[in-house]
Structure 1
């Protein structure tokens, strides 16, 4: 029996995704929203849903916590970071710092919650006929020394994210979106300054992989004891060593091994996460993350008293002008339009 394997574990891909330290949480939403109305909400299909808490997937979509506009109205975070990757459709962001924007079609938002922030993530129904949405959200933990960091908001625009087209020996392509980390001599855009990913010695990688049918792709070896997770969320099969793995599975991989992916007969889509574990205690209560029960109680008390700065917007389901394209406004008022 072979014991020196590249694969540590294979498990069914459920929502939320199982993650490894330094990641806390991962999820993928693929929504087939219908046409919207003049207020960027849904014009029909709301009957029979649990208003404000709809995770039903009825008719191929959910409202989540939105009542008229789908999405996640204002809610708090502290002690970690969110990395939101939108591959199709648009998301409207607003937060308690005053930062806001609209992003999608390959853009990534990196938000350090740190000492505490409120934000909303709404899905504006900008089109009259159909509004498909594909979004991944990852929660990346912060070490105890950074859990009290000042919140920080950054947009990584699709046009700026390094995209590598890698050909194998048979000229089959794999497209790698380098959201965080490096591949060969290519380096990602800078992560947020207080992030665990900001130190290259922590080897944090966030990639999306788009493999042509029959393509081969190599994940290079690294030092031992770095956590690696491969999420195979769309396709047919992928073979690693001699193990044939069907889509909708997560594979935990050894970091000291070269990993060779042989894609099957269909286009294969993957998310790859890697990082040296923070290896500190984690105490979590929903979107509140701390390093101890005592620290968690203090943060909950602080939120009850301060609401992490409150909510400067007129509604918890904030969306922006329907005529806007992709844009971002930082807390200092500096605006970028794409």
Structure 2
């Protein structure tokens, strides 16, 4: 299910159900490996990227937006695009569900969390609680949807004289049954608060890591929201990005037994993990309890790592709602139709926050914070 379907499916169709107690298994075109290997499974990256329990969804947006116009949309013709459902990548960028500004106008969520890691560009957040934020340039927003929230995620193109590239990961992390009706909440991890580590091998070649969740050695990520699965020490949740110089070597430390660990090799030509060579654009399921030696190939490489102990509860998902039973999904739709999860206090479905590049967050309780 791609993000277009996930965010747009508010119609009556059969509910999808699964019990997410194991990480993804082999499919046609995948490669299974021996039990003594560091690697359980390798397959080409798809869209969206497959995720293991406790994660639900991961997508990498990488859009080469052109100069912006006076409305903070692209200063380019939109002819030939399926406006409202533009996922075709024409010209190297998408409008997604946006009509004027690219992005995702208001839509609901219940029962899980979104973690949005913005590497380049800006995202404007607005929600049904009246909160707002502008973040990017290395910032992370961690949102607990809990019992229900509507939000918009728009990509304002502020630069009128140069391109406006946008690159981000959006990751969905499940909530356990006990916390699916937690109060909605979001936390901002401003770029300067997120640990970044440079490890050099014996030849002096660097591996750079950003620790969004979990810990690496003495480096500990900012605290996740209080009801997050990641807030439980036993969850072993980690979200790291990795960049390796050509030929660099790095050993990924072992995680706790029973943890699921996935490595998304999205940029670069090849890696070697132990004795196995891995070509670029691959999903790599690792044996988390084993420290995995990685050697990069001749080109710079980038990876995203997701790991966590499985929640091990039934997962029933329909569009933007993720619960434990079909009855709870039906209730989510009924609650959304009745309450709109608090309504929508904004003048449009796709608000943006002006021409200033200042990054900020204004929370529902009135608290205000600025980046840096």
TM-score grouping bracket, smaller chain normalisation: over 0.9
1:106 corresponds to which of 134, 138, 149: 138
Match of 1:12 among 44, 47, 54: 44
Aligned to 1:96: 128
Name the counterpart of 1:232.
265
Work out the CA distance in 2 between the residues paired with 1:3 and 1:299.
42
Equivalent residues of 1:212, 1:266 under 8 A apart: yes
Unmatched segments (≥5 aa) in structure 1: none
Query: Which of 310, 320, 333 is the equivalent residue of 1:300?
Result: 333
SS of 2:278's equivalent?
strand
* Alignment TM-score, normalising by the size of structure 2: 0.89
Compute the displacement of 1:2 (Å).
5.1
Instruction: Please tell me whether the aligned partners of residues 227 and 277 of structure 1 are also in contact (alpha carbons under 8 angstroms).
Output: yes
Q: 1:141-182: CA deviations, max 9, x gaps?
A: 000000000001111000010111111121111111000001
Q: Deviation digits for residues 42-63 of structure 1, max 9, x if unmatched?
A: 2222011111111010000010
Q: Distance in 2 between matches of 1:224 and 1:156?
A: 29
Residue of structure 2 equivalent to 1:218: 251
Moved over 6 A (4+): none
- Cα distance between partner residues in 1 of 2:198 and 2:102: 34
Aligned-residue offset at 1:324: 4.1
> Unaligned regions of 5+ residues in structure 2, if any?
1-32
TM (norm. structure 1) is 0.98
- Residue 3 (structure 1) shift: 3.2
How far is 1:98 from its partner? 1.4
Q: Which residue of 2 aligns with 1:281?
A: 314
* 8 Å contact from structure 1 (residues 229, 272) kept in 2: yes
- For 1:115, what is the secondary structure of its paired residue? coil
Q: CA RMSD in A?
A: 1.1
Alignment length, in residue pairs? Answer: 338
Question: Corresponding residue for 2:351?
Answer: 318
Aligned equivalents of 1:173 and 1:200: distance in 2? 30
Measure, in 1, the Cα distance between the counterparts of 2:356 and 2:258: 49
Specify the alignment match of 2:159 in structure 1.
127
d(CA) in 1 for partners of 2:194, 2:282:
26
Alignment partner of 1:253 out of 286, 289, 292:
286
Q: Corresponding residue for 1:62?
A: 94
Q: Give the conservation status (yes or no) of the 8 Å contact 1:99–1:153.
A: no
Deviation at 1:199, TM superposition (A): 0.9
Deviations 1:121-140 (A, max 9, x none): 00001011211000100000
Deviation at 1:14, TM superposition (A): 1.0
**2:20 maps to what in 1?**
none
